[in-house]
Amino acid sequence: MKLIKLTEVIEITCLTKPTIYRMISEGKFPKQVSLGERAVAWVECEILAWINERIEVRDNG
């Protein structure tokens, strides 16, 4: 299991920082993991699974 920082999440998903945090608050995007008082990261496999779900929705209507 690998943790990735926000810059990599943005690069992988092509979403902006505000969009990511809005989608998290709406329950539509994987939540971040706290690494300390001011540090967070995301579980890479959760981000990749989210992308795969988007592809499935697209392909299956």
Q: Which amino acid is located at 26 in the chain?
A: E
DSSP state for residue 27 in the 8-state scheme: T
For residues 8 and 32, what is the distance between their CA atoms, to the nearest angstrom?
13
Query: Tokens 């299956």 label which residue?
Result: 60
Average pLDDT of adjacent 10-residue blocks, the chain of 61 residues: 97 98 98 97 98 97 78
Q: Is the pTM of this model over 0.85?
A: yes
For residues 8 and 10, what is the distance between their CA atoms, to the nearest angstrom?
5
Residue 48: per-residue pLDDT? 98
Query: Tokens 């999440």 label which residue?
Result: 9
